[in-house]
Amino acid sequence: MDLFNLPITMKDIREAQKALNGKVYQTGIARSNYLSEKCQGDIYVKFENMQRTGSFKMRGAFNKLSSLTAEEAQRGVVACSAGNHAQGVALSGSMLGINAKIVMPETAPKAKIDATKGYGAEVVLYGQNFNETMQKAQEIVKEEGRVFVHPYDDAKVIAGQGTIGLEILEDLWDVDNIVVPIGGGGLIAGIAVALKSFNPNINIFGVQADNVHGMAASLVADKVVTHRDNSTIADGCDVATPGELTFKITKSLVTEVVTVSEEDIKKSMIALVQRNKIISEGAGALSTAAILSGKIGPEYIEGKKTVVIISGGNIDLTKLASILNS
C-alpha cells in the first residue's frame, strides 16, 4: 500500500469536507439487526440514499464546481450521467450560479431525467449507454467551451466522495470493513484514501454486477480494460470502463472487488425494503448483495464491524414495485 503516490490525499478530502460544510447532509449510520443476524457480524448501514438528490454524487459534484475559477464558472459546465451525477451537477450548478448542461442516455430512468431538469439543468438525451453520452459531452465541450465535470475520474470529485469515509470514522472509528458499490470507481477511491490514511488495517471491498464489471476485470488484467456483457438493474453503476485515477487508487488500497448476479441485487433490494425499511436503487443495493450472497468471506464478516454503503435511492416506483412483486 502506497498512500504517498496517489492522485489525492487526506488533505484533499479534508479540504473537500470544508467546502461541503452546510451544503450536503452528514448522512446517518445505523446497525442493521437483520443483516447482523444474517451474516453473524455487526453490520452497519450508511444512508447515502438520504443525501441531497438521493445519492452520494452530490458530494463530488459540488466540490468540483466550487473549485472552478471565475472564468471557468462563467463558461458553464457539461456532464454525462445516467442520473445521479446528473442531479448532483445540476443542483450544485444551481446553488453556485453556474449554468449546467447534462447529457443523459435515452434509456435513463424518467424519474432521474425529471429530477435533473427540476434542479435547473438543461438535459440532452443522447445514446444508449455511458460511452455514447460521454462522446456527446466531449463534443459539447469543443463546441461551447464548457468545463467537463467527469463523473468519477477527477481528483476533486474523488475527494468529495471521500468525505463519506471521514463521516464513517466519526461515527464508528473502530470499523473493520467497508463494502462499497463500484461504477467508475470515484466513490470507493475516495473512501479508501480516507480510511486507509487513518488505519491501514481496514478492509475495503468493492462490488460490481456480473454483467458490468470494468473495475474487477481491470484488476485481473492489471490495466484499465472494458467489460460489459449486458445491462444491469444497477444502472447507476453501469460503467464498463473505470477511470485511470480510480483504477490506480483501487489497485493500491482496495482489498478485493467481487461481483454479484442480477438476482442477488434484486434480493438485496427486497431485503432492504422488507427488513430494514430502506428504499435503494439497484446500484445502492450492491454492497448488501455482496454480504447476503456470501461473496465476501465469513472470515472478514463474522464477529467484525462492517459498514455497507447504500449509495443511492433514486428508482422509479413502478420499477421498484415490479421487483418487490417478483
For residue range 166-200, what is the model confidence (pLDDT) as tens digits? 999 999 999 999 999 999 999 999 999 999 999 99
Structure confidence at residue 48 (pLDDT): 98
Question: How do residues 208-245 score in pLDDT, each as one tens digit?
Answer: 999 999 999 999 999 999 999 998 999 889 999 999 99
Residue 235's nearest CA partner among 134, 132, 312 is 312
Q: Are 125 and 107 within 8 A, CB to CB? A: no
- Catalytic hit among 32, 55, 57, 287: 57
Q: Are 137 and 80 within 8 A, CB to CB? A: yes
Q: With bands split at pLDDT 50, 70 and 90, how would you rate the model's confidence at 2?
A: low
Query: C-alpha distances in angstroms, 171 versus 27, 190, 321?
Result: 11, 18, 33
Whether residue 318 is predicted with pLDDT greater than 90 in this model: the reply is no
Structure confidence at residue 109 (pLDDT): 76
Q: What is the mean pLDDT of residues 68-95?
A: 95
**pTM score above 0.75:** yes
Read off the C-alpha cell for 109: 430512468
The stretches of 119-243 forming alpha helices (DSSP H) are 130-144, 155-171, 186-198, 214-221
- Catalytic: 94? no
Structure confidence at residue 123 (pLDDT): 96
- Catalytic: 266? no
Q: What is the mean pLDDT of residues 250-259?
A: 98
Q: What is the mean pLDDT of residues 30-44?
A: 97
Whether residue 316 is predicted with pLDDT greater than 90 in this model: the reply is no
Q: What is the mean pLDDT of residues 268-275?
A: 96
Structure confidence at residue 82 (pLDDT): 77
- Catalytic hit among 55, 66, 92, 311: 311
Whether residue 246 is predicted with pLDDT greater than 80 in this model: the reply is yes
Please report how many Cα atoms fall inside a 13 Å half-sphere around the Cα of residue 13, on the Cβ side: 25
Helix (H) or strand (E) run with residue 299 in it: helix 298-301
Strands lying side by side in the sheet with 203-209: 29-31, 42-47, 305-310, 177-181, 203-209, 256-260
